[in-house]
């Protein structure tokens, strides 16, 4: 676990402002429940980074539950509302803290040029940095395109998933039915008096 913690903190140190952002979480405990592999990790964020443990006897402030891929993806996306609505990731306990903790990671701004320059020199590191940005942009565009294609297929072709319009119609129908039941109950209450 110490190696995992060291890797996380070295990665976090690449964003010089991140440790200041983590300082506001001092004293908080975030539990990761990793489904599929049945693992639990406890994270103790603070101004010096994040301590990671597999055991904790006290209470936890927030629980983030999901598969390893979902939790990783949640840390990358700027708006995790879609993932939460689909049930890919669950946040329980202090949900506001969970969202703030997640936002710290999605707002990371790493300048890779300095670590690369210390290894390869300035000119090569600049080229690597630019190439990395291009590859990253291409990767994100590809993931977005594939996600949209899969989503469209599941909604339109296979009909395994409802569209947002269909979901809104369902919610409106449920609300109308709930209102009708409330009015009927009020009439029954009136008649029984």
pLDDT of residue 188: 92
From CA 57, how far away is CA 59, in angstroms rounded?
7
Confidence of residue 42 (pLDDT cuts 50, 70, 90): very high
pLDDT of residue 72: 75
State mean pLDDT over 116-144: 72
Arithmetic mean of pLDDT over the chain: 79
Residues in the chain: 193
Q: Is the CB of residue 89 less than 8 Å from the CB of residue 74?
A: yes
State mean pLDDT over 31-42: 88
The Cα angle at residue 56 between residues 71 and 35, in degrees rounded to 5: 30
From CA 44, how far away is CA 61, in angstroms rounded?
10
Confidence of residue 100 (pLDDT cuts 50, 70, 90): confident
The CATH T-level fold of domain 2-106 is Nonspecific Lipid-transfer Protein; Chain A (3.30.1050)
Instruction: Between 191 and 9, name the one with better pLDDT.
Output: 191
- Which pair of structure tokens corresponds to residue 99? 């969202």
Residue 115 scores a pLDDT above 70: no
* Proportion of the chain above pLDDT 70, given as a percent: 79
Helices (H), 14-163: 18-22, 68-76, 81-86, 95-106, 113-120, 122-152
This model's pTM is above 0.85: no
Confidence of residue 49 (pLDDT cuts 50, 70, 90): confident
Nearest to 63 by CA among 37, 97, 38: 97
Residue 50 scores a pLDDT above 80: yes
């Amino acid at each position: 676990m110490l190696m995992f913690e060291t890797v996380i903190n070295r990665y976090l140190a690449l964003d010089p402002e991140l440790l200041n952002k983590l300082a506001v979480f001092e004293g908080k405990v975030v539990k990761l429940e990793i489904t599929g592999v049945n693992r639990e990790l406890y994270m103790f964020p603070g101004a010096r980074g994040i301590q990671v443990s597999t055991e904790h006897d006290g209470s936890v402030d927030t629980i983030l539950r999901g598969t390893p891929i979902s939790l990783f993806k949640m840390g990358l996306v700027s708006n995790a509302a879609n993932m939460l609505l689909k049930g890919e990731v669950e946040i329980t306990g202090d949900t506001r803290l969970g969202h703030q903790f997640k936002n710290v990671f999605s707002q990371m701004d790493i300048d890779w040029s300095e670590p690369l320059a210390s290894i390869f020199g300035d000119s090569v590191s600049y080229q690597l940095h630019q190439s990395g940005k291009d590859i990253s942009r291409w990767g994100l565009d590809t993931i977005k395109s594939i996600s949209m294609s899969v989503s469209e297929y599941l909604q339109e072709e296979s009909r395994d998933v409802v569209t947002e319009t269909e979901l809104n119609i369902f919610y409106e129908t449920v609300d109308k039915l709930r209102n009708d039941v409330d009015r009927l109950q009020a009439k029954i209450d009136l008649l029984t008096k």
